[in-house]
Structure formats: C-alpha cells, structure tokens
Amino acid sequence: MGTKTGVISVIPKDYSKAQFATMDKSLRDRGMSMFPGTFRMIFPHKDRSGRRRTGLDPEAPSVLSIKDKETREQKQAEIRERLKEIKLALGEDVDLGPYSRYWDTLNPAKLKDGDNIFNLDEPAQAIDFYWLRVHPAIASSYEAYLRGEYPADTHFYVKDDEVETQINYNKRKLANDAIIKINSWGLEKRRRIARLVGLPITENEREEVVYNMLDQFLKDGIVKTGPYMNSDSLVIFNQFAGMDDEKIMINDIVNQAISAQIYRVGKAGKIMEGEQTVFQGKDSLLAHFMDKKNQLDLVELEQKLAVKDLPTKL
C-alpha cells in the first residue's frame, strides 16, 4: 500500500485581464504566487469560544451542522478513525481535543508556493494537514473557492483530486440533466421557468430565443443579473424545475403580477394592492393562490395580466 498524502496547494488565479500592474500579477505572470524561498506562516485557528479547529474533532460545529444524519455520522466516523490512528502512534494520553493546550505548543505551518505535500502516515504531518484543511484561511476545495465561499484573496486550497473529480462529475451531470429537462418541455413551460430564474422573457418570446437564453444561463454557472445575481445558476434552475407544473404556473403568474404592478412589494416585504396591504409577504401571496379554494382569484389575476402591457424584464 502506498503512502497516504494530503496536499495544500496554491489557488490558480488569472490576472491576464487585470488593468493595473500589481505584485501579484507580476508574480503570476512568472508562474509564481510568492517570492522564491518565502513561506506563509499559519497557526491553528481558535474560534471566539476558544475552541480550536483541529480537523480531529467529531463534535466540531461544522460537523454537527451537517443536516443529513447519514452524511454527518459518516463524517464523524472518518474523524474518529483519523484520531485513533494518530493516538495509536503518539499514545492514548495525548490530548488532541479542541480545548487542549497541545495546540499552543505547535509551531506554525510553513506553506510554500506550489504543492505542500503532507505524509499522513507520519503523525506530526498528519496533524498539521488535518487542522490546515479546516482553517478558515484555506479553501476546502478549488470548487468552493470558485463558488465564492471564501474571500477573493484566499491563497491556498485543499487539493484532493478525487474530491475535485467527483465535484466536477456531479456538476456536469446536473448540467446535462438540466438540458434534458429543457428539451422535454414545451415552449410555455420553458418561458415560465426562464422568467422564474430571472430571464427577461415575454409571453410572446420566440422558441429559439427562450431556449438559447436558458442554455446560456446554465452555461454561465453564476447568475449575472436579476434577483438571484451571483447565485449558482444550476441551483436556481433546479429550485424551480423540480416543482410540479401547477406550482410553476402559479409562481410565474405571481411574479408577473408583481412585475406588472398589480401587486407591489412594500416595506418589510409586505404585498400591497394600491395602498392597501393584502398579504404579509410573498409566501402568503403564493399560498393564497395555491389553495384550491381560491381558484377564481387566480383566474381573475390571469385576466388582469392579459390586459396589462407587461414589461420585458422582471
């Protein structure tokens, strides 16, 4: 069996379109991110409560916050196994708990340019790698950095080729599944979904225009404009694509009604009709029209929309 390793690497960044010369750009243009022979010193992170982020804590808040029970318990089992292996080498009396003074005795990790490789069969290196991988200054993955989960100036990320491959596979599969869904829909449903994700689609928009805009929306990866700006486009798409046809229709009608100023969103998100508050929020507005008892109200709203000159953008 080969040596188990962990890798902390430098985040690739493209400065080719930068308008001004900076030190970072100059270094990156030369294939570097730091001056030769220099390091970045990082200490184990301590939260405000005094709790260390060790990567060896099965009760860490980040672990307990995992909503899916099976995933959470699997993560805890993995951490306990790591802890067991390290204590087997160092001795059971070594306290690696999140409040242990052990963490005060550690030297800072010295991260160099490029790949920083840790031998996980060597206890000291394994400990360093595990606390580094949960450090807030180090992105948990390159994909997480690209999603905006870490500040733009984050320098390092946890390089796990297997994880990155799985993430890319999942993302591409979701994108392919989304295209299959679009191809299976009729024009009316495509228009409704396009409007719901924030695209400027009118009731009379041509089929090729609607399809191309939805396709580009998915390919962009990140929503560029509208109410969901900077969100993951696939997440937003699936949020609506997973609804049944009736919910899609009612959500679209309600959005159009707000766009057409039949209703307007007032202070604290309250829904106004003229100067009168008619619903406490958009959720209650949607719930009203979802209720089968209010079908006549929905028909009346559709009739109001039919005589309105709707704007081209939501």
User: In the structure encoding, which two tokens stand for residue 207, read together?
Assistant: 């089929």
Strand order in the sheet with 271-273: 264-265, 271-273, 276-279
pLDDT of residue 311: 47
In 3-state terms, what secondary structure has residue 292?
A: helix
Task: State residue 172's pLDDT score.
Answer: 82
- Per residue in 217-255, is it b (16+ CB within 10 Å) or e — as a string? bbeeeebeeeebeebbbbebbeebbebeeeebbbbbbbb
pLDDT computed for residue 203 by the predictor: 85
Q: What local confidence, expressed as pLDDT, does residue 313 receive?
A: 40
How high is the pLDDT of residue 58?
Answer: 95
DSSP string, 113-172: SS-EEEETTSHHHHHHHHHHTT-TTEES-HHHHHTTSS-TT--EEE--HHHHHHHHHHHH
CA atoms 45, 50, 56, 62: torsion sign: negative
Question: Can you give the pLDDT at residue 310?
Answer: 47
Is beta strand 116-119 parallel, antiparallel or unpaired with respect to 276-279?
unpaired
Beta carbons within 8 Å of 292's beta carbon, 6+ residues apart? none
pTM of structure: 0.55
Token output for 181: 């869904």
Q: What is the pLDDT of residue 307?
A: 80
Name all domains of the chain by residue range, CATH numbers in brackets: 5-159 (no CATH), 160-242 (no CATH), 246-308 (3.30.250)
Residue 295 tokens read as 């079908």
The residue to which tokens 């209703």 are assigned: 263
pLDDT at 118: 93
Query: For residue 167, what pLDDT is reported?
Result: 67
Each residue's pLDDT expressed in tens, for the chain with a length of 314 residues: 457 889 999 998 877 766 677 888 888 888 888 899 999 999 999 999 999 999 999 999 999 998 888 888 989 999 999 999 999 999 988 999 999 999 999 999 999 998 999 999 999 999 999 999 999 999 998 888 888 899 989 999 998 865 666 667 777 888 899 999 999 999 999 999 999 999 999 888 999 999 999 999 998 888 888 888 888 898 899 999 999 999 999 999 999 999 888 999 999 899 998 889 999 999 999 999 999 999 899 999 988 888 875 444 44
Distance CA 80, CA 154 (A): 29
Nearest-angstrom CA–CA distance, 236 and 174: 12
Per-residue model confidence (pLDDT) at position 213? 95
